[in-house]
Structure 1
Amino acid sequence: MEILRAENVSEKYQAENGEINAFESVSFGVEKGEFLSIVGPSGCGKSTLLSVIAGLVKPTGGRVLVEGEVVTGTSPHVGYMLQRDNLLEWRTILDNVLFGLEIQQAKTPENVQRAVRLLETYGLAEFVEKYPRQLSGGMRQRVALIRTLAAGPDILLLDEAFSALDYQTRLTVTDDVYAILKKEGVTTLMVTHDIPESISMGDRVMILSARPARVQDILPIDFGPQRTPLGCRSHPNFAKYFDYIWKELSQNETT
């Protein structure tokens, strides 16, 4: 069942050197529970596209629908996770997770219980009274994810969410995050510059062209039902997917 659809979405914005046409006539759909990776040349508007889907930016053309309803602003149905974890150093881990609910005015007993369950399920129960500085980078990112999931969004947007981590931690965290999102059944759209990351996590990879970006291709990724991001990297088909995406991006690089 399709949970999200972009229909001929375009976005222009004013910059110092004039009007910038970020992307135009972008159309695609995402199935419930699917993980869609989004790649494209630098400056092609990938992050702006996520902002439009999140309702933070109004498109200059077209529309986005979430569960059949046109997106006109922010919604509890859509969660957004950025590069930095943005944890508050003076609040405990539990209080950090609950802070997201406070901001959304959604600190209901049900959501608090959900947040505690998520912390327990994903190995953070013993750290609830700790502070962010006492956690590793990977654990901090897990806390940030649980903070985002605590309100029960149907769709999660990841914008270069792992780029601040060192390479080894990043590999471990992507495995953890992928397992959490699949177990929780959260539909996910992830923008990344990392081609291997896009392949190892995505059920499909959407390739955008250079600015003004259009959908160049949407590539199905198949590693079988028991896939893990780390395991995918040694799969015989991994190199084939990488070569295809690399070639598509290389011929569309912007200056």
Structure 2
Amino acid sequence: MDVLKVLNIEQKYQADNGETTAIKDISFSVEKGEFISIVGPSGCGKSTLLSIISGLLKPTGGEVYVNGMLVNGVSSHIGYMLQKDNLLDWRTIYKNVLFGLEIRKIKTPENVARAEELLKTYGLYEFRNNYPSQLSGGMRQRTALIRTLAINPDILLLDEAFSALDYQTRLNVTDDVYRILKQEKVTTVMVTHDIPESISMSDKIIILTQRPAEIKEIVEIDFELPHRTPLTCRNSPKFSKYFDHLWKELSVHE
């Protein structure tokens, strides 16, 4: 079943020199539990597309549906993670995780219990009384993810969510995040400029053209691994073939 449907999305902006088209006729769908990456040249409109999906930005044309319902404004079914973890330094890890529930006014005993269970399952419960400044970059990002998952979203949007981390931390965190998202069966759409990251984490990769962004190709990713993780994917012989293909498709636009 399609959790997300993006139909004929178009985005235009008024500029001093006339109208500019940023996104042109983009359509795709995402099934429950799928992990989709969106890649494309810098400035082509990847983050704009995520903002439209989230309901933060109204498109000039086209529609977005989540669970068959039209997105019209910010959707409670969608969680959003940005490059910065945006943890509140004056709140403990536990209180940071509960922050989303408070903002959405859904801090029920059941939802608090779920948040605590997520902290326990993913190794942060013993750090619940610590403050963000006392955590490593990887643990902070895991906290931000748990805070987002605590609101129980049907879809998670990741906008360059790991790009602020150093290379080694980034590899560990992507493995961590992938495991959590697959275990929780969260449908994910990620924008990234990192080709290896997109290949190692995704079930499909959507390649966008230069602005105005259109879909050039949707690449199916299948490593045929029984217990796939981003790290095992990077060691697969198939990895370099996917990389060469994406590199070639993206280099055409540079």
Fold shared per TM-score above 0.5: yes
The 5 A counterparts of 1:1-255 are 1-15=1-15, 18-224=18-224, 225-253=226-254
State the alpha-carbon separation in 2 of the partners of residues 15 and 124 from structure 1.
Answer: 47
State the alpha-carbon separation in 1 of the partners of residues 56 and 8 from structure 2.
Answer: 18
Matching residue's letter, 1:51: S
CA-based RMSD: 1.0
SS state at 2:237 partner? coil
Change (3 A) 1:18 1:165: farther
Matching residue's letter, 1:206: I
SS state at 1:237 partner? helix
Q: CA deviation at 1:109?
A: 1.2
SS state at 2:29 partner? strand
Q: CA deviation at 1:15?
A: 4.5
Per the normalisation by structure 1, the TM-score is 0.97
> Structure 2, unaligned stretches of length 5 or more?
none
Q: CA deviation at 1:76?
A: 1.5
Matching residue's letter, 2:242: Y
- 1:149-188 per-residue CA deviation (whole Å, 9 max, x = no partner) reads 1010010000000000000000000000000000000000
State the alpha-carbon separation in 2 of the partners of residues 13 and 130 from structure 1.
Answer: 45
SS state at 1:10 partner? strand
Identity level (%): 70
SS state at 1:216 partner? strand
- Count, aligned residues: 253
Change (3 A) 1:17 1:110: farther
Q: CA deviation at 1:43?
A: 0.6
State the alpha-carbon separation in 1 of the partners of residues 172 and 142 from structure 2.
Answer: 11
State the alpha-carbon separation in 2 of the partners of residues 87 and 157 from structure 1.
Answer: 17
Matching residue's letter, 1:126: E
> Structure 1, unaligned stretches of length 5 or more?
none
Q: CA deviation at 1:17?
A: 5.5
State the alpha-carbon separation in 1 of the partners of residues 176 and 244 from structure 2.
Answer: 26
State the alpha-carbon separation in 2 of the partners of residues 33 and 175 from structure 1.
Answer: 16
Change (3 A) 1:59 1:32: same
